[in-house]
């Protein structure tokens, strides 16, 4: 057997050393990246034992898991890389909690959140059950503080706790559009320094969106009684969302009816998602994620092609790995285990989509790219479902199987209620040397600011093509590093400039059409941002939000370049140096 060693970039090596590799009590690193992958693979393969696997079969599975990680073909979510095989084996990335309308319940969920952050997970919260600000509180004779006030309490808690002790705690705050405090919520992040640990999203209903189109009023309902307590212009509320998203990037929108229509457990109502919105979950549920590096599945020749057989093999290994993560994870809050194992949701997704397109010679903003995106995700989703059915034959279906739409339709049993998602894959993509999720390239040379430091990278495929085509020079590379984009550099051939189109070069419609193509074959949801140039208008945001609804997306987020003082990604080094 050939021994596979990870081939990591200097940036990836640095990230692993700073955040992922194990340390002794003196803080000294005590494992290599190869040993980290061996640790994770060995721990996840142990789940095979409870299903009757022999020691030899467990060893063989561990080797399969190791190889897909060491080749950077597939990586599980960060908590698995950090925690598998340690004394705190919490392996899931995504959690959702619903905050009840009582002081005891609120602070119980705050404690649960603190424990999840400490274990390395991120949490989405639904605050829609909390009574509105100023509402009478019979037990104390006072008045309710309202959802936004309590969100500040959760935000302060997150400030004090890093996820897993190694990264900033991440949260999603969700409020239904018919909550009486909806306008306070929409505007909650309009001033710098507020709710910095939260992404916020409005859970909008189809009825609300149709009222926006018709310019009608809609009803606000008291969360405790369900009684109608007011009416607002749907279009004015929608405009407030658009204006705030244009100004600060928040709120995003969750199309909550669509999310629940696609939930395979009809008896369960989903009210929120994880922090980046790619996994809708019920109260107490957890989801484990993993990402196929699509850029590794292009066969290089005169006419590059996708290696479908190898892609199928890695997807199958990934599904098994993720299902095993449910069995080997130890959750920090008692009610999570039962909720997580009842549905055994997994989120197998992708990174490196932009890389795959470049290797195939297809610009991102083309019909060909959108069509191929749908074809690739359909193949991955069907393969993942097939493998989940195979696991169900070996291990049994998920416990809520008989309640599922699959059982009601007479389909073969599945091991997992959902199998696919598309996550943003920020740090994981950096480790793999891949582009993020299904995003286009942010820049040909980008500057990424993280808690670990600032990383400047030039896309390796650009440098490779520059050498192959004979226009490479150190001077050109420095120019690209300084400017980030290449569209205005005439010394680069026009077809290369077209191929390396970046996010701010792409019209919003192409962002949304690509998301829709992947969503049609993704069982959970998709984390994707429609990045806009600084000169974009509020009307642009309005069109994006409405087009996202018409395309049947489950959610949408926009970000106008330069509107946040703590922006993670920057175009080239020159801009970042000017800020410093």
Query: Locate tokens 């106008």: which residue?
Result: 560
Would residue 125 count as lying in a domain? Answer: yes
Cα distance between residue 273 and residue 200, in whole Å: 10
Residue finishing a domain among 250, 273, 296: 273
The pLDDT of 253-271, averaged and rounded, is 98
Would residue 283 count as lying in a domain? Answer: no
Is the pLDDT confidence value at 568 over 80?
A: no
**What residues contact 408, with CB distance under 8 A and at least 6 apart?**
none
Residues 292, 259 share a domain: no
Residues 307, 238 share a domain: no
State residue 578's pLDDT score. 43
- Residue 221 phi, psi dihedral angles, 5° rounding: -125, 140
The catalytic residue positions are 274, 276, 278
- Higher pLDDT: 450 or 188? It is 188
Residue finishing a domain among 242, 273, 304: 273
State residue 143's pLDDT score. 87
**Can you list the positions of beta strands (E) in 115-193?**
122-126, 136-137, 142-143, 162-163, 167-168, 171-176
Is the pLDDT confidence value at 569 over 80?
A: no
The pLDDT of 539-564, averaged and rounded, is 96
Residues 452, 396 share a domain: no
Residues 448, 561 share a domain: yes
> Sign of the C-alpha dihedral, residues 201, 207, 212, 218?
negative
Would residue 42 count as lying in a domain? Answer: yes
Could you report the per-residue pLDDT of 456-471, keeping only the tens digit for each?
A: 788 999 999 999 999 9
DSSP tag of 459: -
Q: Which domain holds residue 468?
A: 437-579
Among 305, 272, 328, which residue's Cα sits nearest to residue 109?
Answer: 272
Could you report the per-residue pLDDT of 130-155, keeping only the tens digit for each?
A: 999 999 887 777 888 899 999 999 99
State residue 238's pLDDT score. 98
Would residue 4 count as lying in a domain? Answer: no
Would residue 430 count as lying in a domain? Answer: no
Cα distance between residue 171 and residue 193, in whole Å: 15
Cα distance between residue 563 and residue 247, in whole Å: 6
State residue 447's pLDDT score. 73
Would residue 280 count as lying in a domain? Answer: no
The pLDDT of 311-319, averaged and rounded, is 98
Is the pLDDT confidence value at 573 over 60?
A: no
The pLDDT of 2-19, averaged and rounded, is 91
Distances in whole angstroms, Cα of residue 197 to Cα of each of 155, 193, 447, 486: 6, 10, 22, 34
Is the pLDDT confidence value at 166 over 50?
A: yes
Cα distance between residue 527 and residue 423, in whole Å: 5
Q: Which two tokens stand for residue 465?
A: 């093509």
Residue finishing a domain among 389, 408, 427: 408
Residues 116, 57 share a domain: no
pLDDT band of 445, cuts 50, 70, 90: confident
Residues 162, 21 share a domain: no
**Domain at 126, CATH number:** 3.20.70.20
pLDDT band of 453, cuts 50, 70, 90: low
Structural domain count, the chain: 3
Could you report the per-residue pLDDT of 231-250, keeping only the tens digit for each?
A: 999 999 999 999 999 999 99
- Residues facing 174 on adjacent strands: 126, 201
Could you report the per-residue pLDDT of 483-523, keeping only the tens digit for each?
A: 888 999 999 999 999 999 999 999 999 999 999 999 999 99
Residues 140, 234 share a domain: yes
DSSP tag of 233: E
The pLDDT of 110-118, averaged and rounded, is 93
- Where helices occur in 93-177 by DSSP H, the ranges are 103-119, 147-160
Among 72, 126, 117, 70, which residue's Cα sits nearest to residue 93?
Answer: 117
Residues 395, 301 share a domain: yes
Q: Which two tokens stand for residue 190?
A: 């309009």
Would residue 5 count as lying in a domain? Answer: no
State residue 446's pLDDT score. 77
Count Cβ atoms below 10 Å from residue 168 Cβ, excluding itself.
15
Among 29, 1, 15, 12, which residue's Cα sits nearest to residue 72?
Answer: 12
State residue 2's pLDDT score. 59
Is the pLDDT confidence value at 167 over 70?
A: no
Residues 308, 192 share a domain: no
DSSP tag of 32: -
Is the pLDDT confidence value at 350 over 50?
A: yes
Percent of the chain with pLDDT over 70: 94
Would residue 418 count as lying in a domain? Answer: no
State residue 136's pLDDT score. 83
């Amino acid at each position: 057997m050939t021994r596979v060693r990870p081939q990591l970039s200097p940036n990836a090596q640095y990230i692993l050393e700073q955040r992922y590799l194990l340390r002794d009590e003196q803080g000294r690193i005590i494992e290599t990246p190869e040993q980290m992958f061996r640790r994770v693979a060995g721990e996840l393969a142990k789940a095979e034992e409870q299903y009757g696997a022999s020691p030899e079969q467990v060893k063989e599975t561990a080797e399969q898991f190791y190889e897909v990680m060491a080749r950077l073909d597939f990586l599980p979510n960060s908590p698995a890389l950090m925690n598998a095989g340690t004394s705190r084996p919490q392996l899931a990335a995504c959690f959702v909690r619903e905050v009840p309308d009582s002081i005891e319940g609120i602070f119980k969920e705050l404690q649960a959140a603190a424990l999840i952050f400490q274990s390395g997970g991120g949490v989405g919260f639904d605050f829609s059950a909390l009574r509105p600000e100023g509402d009478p509180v019979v037990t104390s004779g006072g008045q309710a503080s309202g959802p936004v006030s309590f969100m500040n309490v959760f935000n302060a808690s997150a400030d004090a706790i890093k996820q897993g002790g190694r990264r900033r705690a991440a949260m999603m705050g969700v409020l239904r559009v018919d909550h009486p405090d909806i306008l306070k919520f929409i505007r909650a992040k309009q001033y710098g320094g507020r709710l910095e640990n939260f992404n916020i999203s409005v859970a909008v209903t189809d009825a609300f969106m149709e009222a926006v189109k018709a310019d009608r009023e809609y009803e606000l309902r008291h969360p405790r009684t369900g009684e109608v307590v007011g009416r607002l212009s749907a279009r004015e509320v929608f405009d407030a969302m658009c204006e705030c998203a244009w100004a600060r990037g928040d709120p995003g929108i969750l199309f909550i009816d669509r999310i629940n229509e696609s939930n395979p457990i009809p008896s369960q109502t989903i009210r929120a998602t994880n922090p980046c919105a790619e996994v809708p979950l019920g109260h107490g549920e957890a989801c484990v994620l993993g990402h196929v590096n699509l850029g590794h599945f292009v066969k290089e020749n005169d006419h590059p092609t996708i290696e479908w057989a190898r892609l199928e093999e890695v997807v199958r290994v990934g599904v098994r790995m993720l299902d095993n993560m449910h069995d080997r994870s130890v959750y920090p809050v008692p009610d999570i285990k039962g909720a997580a194992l009842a549905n055994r949701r997994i989120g197998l997704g992708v990174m490196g989509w932009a890389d795959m397109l470049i290797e195939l010679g297809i610009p991102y903003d083309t019909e060909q790219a959108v069509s191929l995106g749908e074809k690739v995700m359909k193949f991955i989703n069907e393969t993942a479902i097939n493998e989940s059915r195979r696991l169900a034959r070996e291990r049994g279906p998920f416990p809520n199987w008989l309640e599922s739409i699959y059982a009601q339709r007479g389909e073969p049993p599945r091991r997992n209620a959902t199998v696919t998602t598309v996550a943003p894959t920020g740090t994981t993509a950096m480790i793999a040397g891949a582009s993020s999720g299904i995003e286009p390239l942010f820049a040909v040379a980008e500057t990424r600011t993280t808690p670990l430091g600032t990383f400047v990278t030039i896309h390796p495929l650009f440098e490779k093509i520059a050498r192959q085509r004979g226009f490479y020079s150190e001077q050109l590379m420095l120019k690209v590093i300084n400017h980030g984009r290449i569209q205005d550099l005439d010394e680069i051939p026009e077809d290369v400039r077209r191929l390396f189109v970046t996010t701010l070069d792409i019209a919003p419609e192409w962002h949304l059409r690509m998301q829709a193509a992947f969503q049609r074959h993704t069982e959970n949801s998709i984390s994707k941002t429609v990045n806009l140039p600084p000169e974009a208008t509020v009307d642009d945001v309005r069109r994006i939000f409405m087009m996202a609804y018409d395309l049947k997306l489950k959610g949408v987020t926009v970000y106008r370049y330069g509107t946040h003082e703590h922006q993670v990604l920057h175009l080239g080094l020159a801009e970042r140096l000017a800020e410093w």
